[in-house]
């Protein structure tokens, strides 16, 4: 059973902090949950009707708890002081400069949060690593926390496994909850307190309690395995295109082996999202630092294969359009890194657009959820151009049909469900002939499109 009146504070109101804490508040009405962030606009958005992230089902959960036992605030110090458990869910991006630049995790935000906790806390706290961090981070964090020598801290690792677009479902019924702690009595007690919170709705047998290093490493390994599956099927898609096999048929045949399983085998334009690449590169860096260059090389291939897949898609389009796309109009359907999210971090669409701009093509983009300013910011960053320069090549459209008007080709980059229901007869009428479709997600009805008159290229499919 959980202590009555337990107080939780979560530092970082992002894609992880927001949804995870909202679900804890929903499932544990007797626990008070404060989510704090240094970003005032982000907190203001969490307190408004227009939440800062799009996630199916999230609105409902927030509305049910906000103002009851769930609060969003910038009062970081006060919430730290009052809390029994402090989750830290700040961003841990890839380092941009210095040792390990381009690979190692940048723990600046984590360290700042830990220093704040150390400075402000007056009573013992359980500090929980919710962010994805390199193995052995708990040790460094513990040193920072205890540096001030004021009070006792127990550091737990509790990585998050939710996927964007299905975050609420994933949190509601997780495959497992992982809690890592030190093996001393203090650590086990803290681990038990956190396990009791999750036990409000997660079956006990799904709550794994391990040592802290196993927990930290498991998160990096889980993401590396998932990304590896995507790179594996994408590598197979290249073989399919060269041989006449069909990647979906191969995935089905292979995935029916219960040892392999059918999930996460959809060939694509390449994986995106804020974590896969970041976490693999982090693992690669750790392996190198541990004197394991061959192991590092093995995992690095997953990222290299992903880069190749994006470039293969671009090359296919250029070759399909008679070896040049200069001045040609390409309708790009989807900009988010996957469906059901407005998140564009590391989206394949960004690199694909950068390459199109390099070839001086005209791009008309439509995405149902991504904010316009986000697209401009991603493209100016990727192309190292200002917005006016980017706008010479890119227009943003209110719907798919407008994007396809007078286009030479249409490319599906995100698998939004609504792209299946577009009136393709109408699209065909509006496009320049011959009209090309490049399905980067294998979600359209290729037979129907060919009947209408389109020339269709799909990932890992015979022509």
- Find the binder of ligand NAD among 8, 9, 16, 394 (CB under 6 A): 16
Residue identified by tokens 């249409």 is 410
Which among 65, 275, 287, 404 is annotated as catalytic? 275
CB-based burial of residue 45 (10 Å sphere; 0-12 exposed, 13-18 middle, 19+ buried)? middle
Query: Of residues 45, 140, 161, 210, which one binds ligand UGA by CB under 6 A?
Result: 161
- Residue range at the interface with ligand UGA (CB under 6 A); choices 54-62, 73-81, 114-122, 273-281: 273-281
Report, in Å, the least distance between residue 178 CB and ligand UGA: 11
How many beta carbons lie within 10 A of that of residue 388, not counting itself? Answer: 8
Chain position carrying tokens 């590598």: 235
CB-nearer residue toward ligand NAD: 139 or 249: 139
Secondary structure (DSSP) of 132-170: ---TTHHHHHHHHHHHT-SS-EEEEE------TTSHHHH
Q: Which residue is nearest to ligand NAD (CB)?
A: 14
List 25, 128, 202, 226, residue binding ligand UGA (CB under 6 A): 226
- In the complex, minimum distance from the CB of residue 348 to ligand UGA, in angstroms, rounded to a whole number: 7
Q: Is 184 a catalytic residue?
A: no
Choosing from 90, 121, 126, 305, the residue that interacts with ligand NAD (CB under 6 A) is 90
Interaction residues for ligand UGA, span 115-134 (CB under 6 A): 132
Which residue of 27, 103, 116, 266 would you call a contact of ligand UGA, by CB under 6 A? Answer: 266
DSSP for 159-218? Answer: -----TTSHHHHHHS-S-EEEEE-SSHHHHHHHHHHHHHHTTTS-GGGEEEEEHHHHHHH
Among 233, 275, 305, 459, binds ligand NAD (CB under 6 A): 275
- Does position 338 bind ligand UGA by CB under 6 A? yes
Q: Is 337 one of the binding residues for ligand UGA (CB under 6 A)?
A: yes
- Kindly state the helix (H) or strand (E) to which residue 356 belongs, with its residue range: helix 348-358
Query: How many CB atoms are closer than 10 A to CB 361?
Result: 24
* Residue 268 contacts ligand UGA per CB under 6 A: yes
Residues whose CB falls within 8 Å of the CB of residue 319, separated by 6 or more in sequence, listed in order: none
Which part of the chain contacts ligand NAD (CB under 6 A), choosing from 160-168, 193-201, 248-256, 258-266?
A: 160-168
Cβ 410 vs Cβ 429: under 8 Å: no
DSSP 438: E
Nearest-angstrom CA–CA distance, 369 and 365: 12
Report if residue 442 touches ligand UGA, rule: CB under 6 A.
no
What are the residue numbers of the active site?
A: 275
* Residues forming the site for ligand NAD (CB under 6 A): 11-17, 36-39, 42, 76, 89-92, 109, 112-113, 131-132, 160, 162, 164, 274-275
């Amino acid at each position: 059973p959980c202590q009555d009146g337990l107080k939780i504070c979560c530092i970082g109101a992002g894609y992880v902090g927001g949804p995870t804490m909202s679900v804890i508040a929903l499932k544990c009405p007797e626990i008070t949950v404060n989510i704090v962030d240094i970003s005032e606009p982000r907190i203001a958005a969490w307190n408004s009707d227009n939440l800062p992230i799009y996630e199916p089902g999230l609105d409902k959960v927030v509305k049910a708890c906000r103002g009851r036992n769930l609060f969003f605030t910038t009062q970081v110090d006060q919430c730290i002081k009052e809390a029994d458990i402090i989750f830290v869910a700040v961003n841990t991006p890839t380092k941009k400069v210095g040792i390990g630049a381009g690979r190692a995790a940048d723990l600046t935000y984590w360290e700042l949060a830990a220093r704040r906790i150390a400075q402000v806390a007056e009573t013992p706290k359980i500090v929980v690593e919710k962010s994805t961090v390199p193995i052995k981070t708990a040790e460094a964090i513990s040193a920072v926390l205890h540096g001030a020598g004021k009070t006792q801290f127990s550091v737990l690792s509790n990585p998050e496994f939710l996927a964007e677009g299905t975050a609420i479902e994933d949190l509601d019924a997780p495959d497992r909850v992982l809690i890592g702690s030190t093996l001393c009595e203090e650590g086990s007690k803290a681990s038990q307190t956190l396990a009791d919170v999750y036990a409000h709705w997660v079956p006990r047998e799904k709550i794994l309690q391990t040592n802290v290093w196993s927990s930290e490493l498991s998160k990096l390994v889980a993401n590396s395995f998932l990304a590896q599956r995507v790179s594996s099927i994408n590598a197979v898609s290249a073989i399919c295109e060269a041989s006449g096999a069909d990647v979906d048929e191969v995935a089905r045949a292979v995935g029916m082996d219960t040892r392999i399983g059918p999930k996460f085998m959809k060939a694509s334009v390449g994986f995106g999202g804020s974590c896969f690449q970041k976490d693999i590169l982090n693992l690669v860096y750790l392996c190198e630092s541990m004197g394991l260059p061959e192991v590092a090389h093995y995992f690095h291939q997953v990222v290299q294969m992903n880069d190749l897949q994006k470039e293969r898609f671009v090359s296919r389009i250029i070759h399909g359009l008679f070896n040049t796309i200069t001045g040609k109009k390409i309708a790009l359907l989807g900009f988010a890194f996957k469906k059901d999210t407005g998140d564009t971090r590391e989206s394949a669409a960004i690199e694909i657009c950068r390459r199109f701009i390099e070839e001086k093509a005209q791009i008309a983009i439509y995405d149902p959820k991504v904010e316009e300013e986000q697209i401009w910011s991603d493209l100016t960053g990727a192309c190292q151009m200002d917005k006016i320069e980017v706008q010479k090549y890119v227009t943003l459209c209110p719907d798919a049909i407008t994007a396809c008007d007078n286009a030479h080709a249409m490319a599906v980059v995100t698998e939004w469900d609504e792209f299946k229901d577009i009136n393709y007869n109408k699209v065909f009428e509006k496009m320049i002939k011959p009209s090309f479709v490049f399905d980067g997600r294998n979600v359209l009805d290729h037979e129907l499109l060919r009947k209408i008159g389109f020339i269709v290229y799909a990932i890992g499919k015979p022509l």
